[in-house]
Amino acid sequence: MRYVKWTLIALVALIVVAFFHYTLPSRDVVRIVGTEVKRQDVGRAPWFWASTDAGTATGDTRDVRFINAVWPNGNVRVYRNEDTNWGWPPYLKFDSGNLTAQAQELAGRDETTWVAVSHYGWRIKLLSIFPNAYRIREVSGPDVFLVPWFNIVFLGLLALGGWLIFRRLRRLKEEHIDPVADRIEDAADTVGAEFKERQSAWRNFWKRWFG
């Protein structure tokens, strides 16, 4: 049972870490090389795609904007460019068209233009899954260091909230649950002692009269 317990704990921890890794924002320093619009069938894995643009019809097959980029080492990087609207994750992105225009303008510059692309999600080639870009900001160069302040503050507050909840539950257990459990245990011990005493007296009675 101990192995089962720790396996379940590890599984829950893995799911939580994967959820936050997918949802929380990340930033890549890349060079924009172009944009395109492709027809995509999103019905096979809809949870990895955002909603359609605000004011347009919904459907499993739709046109999706993409932003093509290059890492400093020359490897390619592709982002989808979809509105999140009022859905999850709560990035409240309604300007995918403006982001495409900004990316096209940056793609027309020389090779010394580097940008920080803020996004969430994963790139899974096997499932044709792409991270969703929601902001582009020009930076000084490919070696710029970007501190993830939002993630640090958010995870810090989350850890603080979890610790406060743990302390509150522990105090609740010590003040209300443990005394009740102790009384139940004492009552069970008393009942058990009385039962054993009566059982012993009954056995002595039978031994005395019937051997």
H runs (alpha helix) in 43-177: 96-107, 149-172
More confidently predicted of 115 and 85: 115
59: phi then psi, degrees, rounded to nearest 5: 170, 160
> Each residue of 45-83: pLDDT tens digit?
677 787 666 555 566 678 899 999 999 999 999 999 999
2.40.50, 3.30.530, 2.40.128, 2.60.40: CATH of 25-146: 2.40.50
More confidently predicted of 117 and 9: 117
Q: What's the confidence (pLDDT) of residue 210?
A: 59
**CA-CA-CA-CA dihedral for 32, 34, 36, 42, to nearest 10:** -30
Tell me 52's DSSP state.
P
Please state whether the predicted TM-score (pTM) of the whole model is above 0.85: no
145: phi then psi, degrees, rounded to nearest 5: -100, 125
Q: What percent of the chain has pLDDT over 90?
A: 55
At residue 165 the predicted structure's pLDDT band, cuts being 50, 70 and 90, is: very high
Q: In the chain, what are the domain boundaries?
A: 25-146, 148-211
Distance CA 196, CA 211 (A): 20
Phi/psi class of residue 96: alpha, beta or left (left: φ > 0; alpha: ψ in -120 to 50)?
alpha
